[in-house]
């Protein structure tokens, strides 16, 4: 069966965290680090939450500057704000 070129093909979205990859990266960076069984999932969740906060703050910066596109400057400013909030 030949697929038509006009019909868009949906891309499969992964629903699971890449646990093997995460464990391998942690072991390479910090071999002495001992994580509990679900520690890699908590790290993955933490990363996703940070990216979500970064996207929201970047969008806010772009709207304040009346810009329709989120630029590098908006993301850098948002990262500085988020890091200041997390440190104290």
pLDDT at residue 16, as a whole number: 78
* Under 8 Å between Cβ of 49 and 56: no
pLDDT confidence bin for 86, thresholds 50/70/90: confident
Residue 88 has pLDDT above 80, yes or no: no
**CA–CA separation, 36 and 41 (whole Å):** 10
Distance CA 84, CA 58 (A): 15
Res 55 pLDDT > 90: yes
Predicted pLDDT at 4: 53
């Amino acid at each position: 069966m030949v697929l038509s070129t006009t019909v868009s093909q949906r891309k499969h979205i992964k629903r699971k965290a890449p646990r093997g990859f995460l464990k391998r990266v942690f072991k390479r960076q910090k071999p002495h680090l001992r994580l509990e069984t679900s520690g890699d999932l908590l790290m993955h969740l933490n990363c996703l939450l940070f990216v979500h906060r970064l996207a929201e703050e970047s969008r806010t910066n772009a709207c304040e500057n009346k810009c329709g596109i989120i630029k590098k400057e908006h993301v850098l400013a948002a990262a500085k704000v988020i890091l200041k909030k997390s440190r104290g």
